[in-house]
Amino acid sequence: MAKLGEYSAKRRFETTPEPKPEVRDGAGGPLLFVVQQHSARQLHYDFRLECDGVLLSWAVPRGPSLDPNDKRLAVFVEDHPYDYGSFEGVIPPGQYGAGEVIVWDCGVYSPDEGGTAFGDRVEAQRRVREGLAAGKLSIQLRGEKLKGSFALVRTKDAKTWLLIKHKDRFAGSHDLEAQSRSVLSGVEAKDLKVVPVRRMPASRLVPGGALAAMPAPFAPMQAETGTMAFRDPGWLWEPKLDGYRVLVYVDQRGVRMRSRRGLELAPAFPRLAAELLQQGPQDLVLDGELVAFDADGRPSFNALQNRFQLKGEREIAAADKGAPTLFFAFDLLHFAGIDLRRMPYADRRRHLAQCLLPSPLVQLVHADEDGPTLEQAALASGFEGVIGKRKDSRYEAGKRVPAWLKVKPVQSAEFVIGGYTRGKGSRESLGSLLIGYHDGDELRFASHVGSGLDDRSLAELEARVQPLRTRTCPFATKPVTNGPATWVKPELVAEVEYQRWTEDGSLRAPIFLRLRDDIDPRTVRRSEPQSPADAPRAPVREAKASPATAKRARGGPAEPRAKARATRGAAATPDDPRIADVLVQLEQPKNTLELAVGAERIRLTHLDRVYWPADPALKQPALTKRDLLRYFAQVSPLILPHLADRPLTMIRMPDGIGGQRFFQKHWDQARPAFTRTITVFSEHKDERHDYLLCNDLPTLLWLAQSGTLEFHVWHSRAKVGADSLSKSTDFSSSLEALEASVLNYPDYVVFDIDPYIYSGKEAKGAEPELNTVAFEKGKEVAFALRELLGEMKLEPIVKTSGKTGLHVFVPIERTLDFDDARRVSELVSRHLLKRRPKDITMEWSVQKRTGKIFMDHNMNVRGKTLNSAYSPRGVAGAPVSMPLSWAELEKAHPLDFTLTSVVKTLIQKGDRWADVLERKQDLERALGSKHD
């Protein structure tokens, strides 16, 4: 206790919260260093080094510096107990050193003159004692803020020392004083007056415990699939990198880089291996991701695969120089004789931030508690998504566990290739893959996948599958395929994007992404997404507060935006906080702004551009893009169920209804990462095209920003359900596959009632304009159609087209294909024509339609579209295609339902959603928008 006598004499422990004077003994592992920021009478930094059970301490008035030319005064003061290393709090007034104390930095250290000794405490402490006695101690620090070699040099005064940075790659002129937050709690010293700090034992600050031998290579821990990022004090989030998972082993023998399949990668990346060797010479094991970048500086799995193809030393050296591959570390599993795998992830993460020595090719992955915000930043940077990790989770080598969750805008997983079917045209030799997953010792079939296969991937796949052909089906149960199957040995792994698993155990809308040679096919298992509610919770022993968290603790802005982010990717609901958030943002007078829609960001421009000019006759003011965005935000819970999962055709009018119009089926320009597409085979050109899907609020608003005034959708959905005869989601491999897919089965039979009764104001050859006489005659025919369908025990549903016509729907189970639906519509229409030959026509000649109602049964064709319910129309008056009850139709006029009146009718009251939701449910049944 004599070592701490001076420390004890200066303090009254019944008053101060500082640790009592106890000497630590029997510890193992590397030595601790701590730098504490101390707001006493004058702000200063306390620099402390563990040695012989106590913390040797120096007061550094201006704090450490990374500039070798900046020699900082360091006054030797009394030894402190080891437990002082984690002390954060307020020393009361009247006590010695009164003021706030935070742990500004901490980590491991070792004398480094003649080499380091992180793994040998006895040797390290002996060299510390000798250096201090000689008046010069050179040490290597591995902390979060301080890294590299430093020297403590004694002056003529025994108590006066200088703290000096040695020249190495960590030297520089960085402003360390600007880094004012604690590395433990995340707070600033001034925050301690209002923010309580939960202390942890000092023994957790650095790796410690019994020494263990360097482990033999093992398999990495893997994450389950999550549905969305969330905030929880018991979790941390990292960006999900698009590369190869690698475990790095460094020791006296050199560097080994092992892939998930156990392949040795170090020879293929000599420059990276050389930088990883600098992490030694003490033994350590890192878990991380190998990442390559494209010409634009974005992560590129394709660039990484190309890098792996290089074999010659000259080629590899050139690639290392021109397009280097980086290693991003996200876990530390062994360091200096300490096995960290049984430690909580929060501790391992802290030790990784301390012990890793970053270099140009070796980097630390960022981590944060704010999952939604980090996800948005990760996607904007070109990463795949985020990984959530429970802070108290241990490292379970070779296991896939729910304590880690991977979250991406769309789901993807690895599947084993068990065969393929033939296609048509350029895809004749390989139309779609047959993929599955292991369930125990059996291979279960999951899906066909034809979308995503381009010329390059097809050529590679054909070359890879041919040597694996076999007569034996590898699946436990022989699947029903969309054509003759060729079986292959289950030795190849494909990464496949999909929307979700269906009730019958198939993949919804699968898209081939790439082959994964780094994954052992025997390890491929089915993974179910976990929602935040299902994510395992645990008591949090440590909660490192972010600046935003600290602000909320002091009474700052808190939850509305956070709650909005938590709904990322979900369909909008009446109480969706994102809607109110969007409307508030649109109140800003700016003509350009970045709109936050939950976790997504949409850059809005030209918000005051007029889309519908003022129309005095209709008493309609000018309506702008801002008004369109407001409308879509407010009606999003109603319109999205009618858009979801349906291939979308857009009518874009970026300059308003008086400017150019673009009829756009396929979106070939750049688009945000949150948008979704499906690939559909074109029967006319033997091509494949990507169609946009509008399934969520961010996509709806982004399309509005892009000048989409009208939304036209297919009559079928790319979604398998209980009512669908087809379970196939292969829309792209061939015409036969498309015809056998769920997209060939509509949700309803449609009757398009199109008046050809002219107002007299139309230009020669133009379509009829909206006029009351025509619309009233259309209503008359619609009621006659309803009467006829009623005789067949069918109850149809009706909506205005938004222009002159009406759309009548008869909902059906998805057991009839488009040809069948077209025949039904034609038969019923011809029967109605016989009853009302003076009012109705089915003639194709426009001249012969004049004065009558045209019944167009050919709208029941795959690929034909009608404007969606609640879609605006790009004509004067800003009308909206409006679902109606038959009682409402009796008195209705199309201009009763406009961009402004619909919102007023449906949304202005506090209980505005009750009647609307009832109508929405009726219409969903009609339009087939049921959710599984």
Report how far residue 120's alpha carbon sits from residue 468's, in angstroms, rounded to the nearest whole number.
Answer: 52
Q: Is the dihedral of CA 624, 628, 629, 630 positive or negative?
A: positive
Report how far residue 288's alpha carbon sits from residue 790's, in angstroms, rounded to the nearest whole number.
Answer: 65
Asked if residue 743 lies in contact with residue 770, where contact means CB atoms within 8 angstroms, the answer is: no
Radius of gyration of the chain (CA): 34
Chain center to CA of 585 = 23
Q: Tell me the two tokens of residue 378.
A: 């990760």
Q: Can you spell out the DSSP letters for 335-386?
A: ETTEE-TTS-HHHHHHHHHHH---BTTEEEPP-BSBHHHHHHHHHHTT--EE
Torsion of CA 71, 77, 82, 86, to 10 degrees: -60
Report how far residue 374's alpha carbon sits from residue 239's, in angstroms, rounded to the nearest whole number.
Answer: 7
Amino acid residing at 583: L
Residue 498 phi, psi (nearest 5): -155, 165
Report how far residue 739's alpha carbon sits from residue 228's, in angstroms, rounded to the nearest whole number.
Answer: 34
End-to-end CA distance of the chain: 70
Q: Tell me the two tokens of residue 284.
A: 């350590």
**Helix or strand or coil: residue 290?**
strand
Q: Tell me the two tokens of residue 641.
A: 């169920």
The strand pairing partners of 142, in sequence order, are 108, 147
Query: Peptide bond preceding 532: is omega within 30 degrees of 0, i.e. cis?
Result: no
Report how far residue 283's alpha carbon sits from residue 228's, in angstroms, rounded to the nearest whole number.
Answer: 37
**Helix or strand or coil: residue 640?**
helix
Other Cβ atoms within 10 Å of 698 Cβ, number:
26
Nearest to 222 by CA among 405, 491, 414: 405
Report how far residue 314's alpha carbon sits from residue 286's, in angstroms, rounded to the nearest whole number.
Answer: 28
The strand pairing partners of 240, in sequence order, are 385
Report how far residue 494's alpha carbon sits from residue 639's, in angstroms, rounded to the nearest whole number.
Answer: 36
Q: Can you spell out the DSSP letters for 558-622?
A: -HHHHHHHHTTTSPP-TT-HHHHHHHHHHTS--SSEEEEETTEEEEE--TT-EEE--BGGGTB--
Apex CA 524: angle with CA 518 and CA 530, to 5°?
Answer: 115
Residue with tokens 């591959």: 325
Apex CA 578: angle with CA 577 and CA 581, to 5°?
Answer: 90
In whole angstroms, how far apart are CA 313 and each of 27, 265, 278, 326, 442? 47, 14, 22, 19, 42
Instruction: Identify whether 240 is a catalytic site residue.
Output: yes
The strand pairing partners of 50, in sequence order, are 55
Q: Tell me the two tokens of residue 61.
A: 């008035």
Q: Tell me the two tokens of residue 872.
A: 């605006």
Helix axes 697-705, 577-586, angle to 10 degrees: 20
Q: Tell me the two tokens of residue 114.
A: 């003649």
Other Cβ atoms within 10 Å of 563 Cβ, number:
16
Nearest to 64 by CA among 4, 129, 3, 109: 109
Other Cβ atoms within 10 Å of 294 Cβ, number:
13
Set 165, 240, 389, 406: catalytic member: 240
Chain center to CA of 335 = 32
Residue with tokens 């101390």: 38
Residue with tokens 């139709």: 889
Active site residues: 240
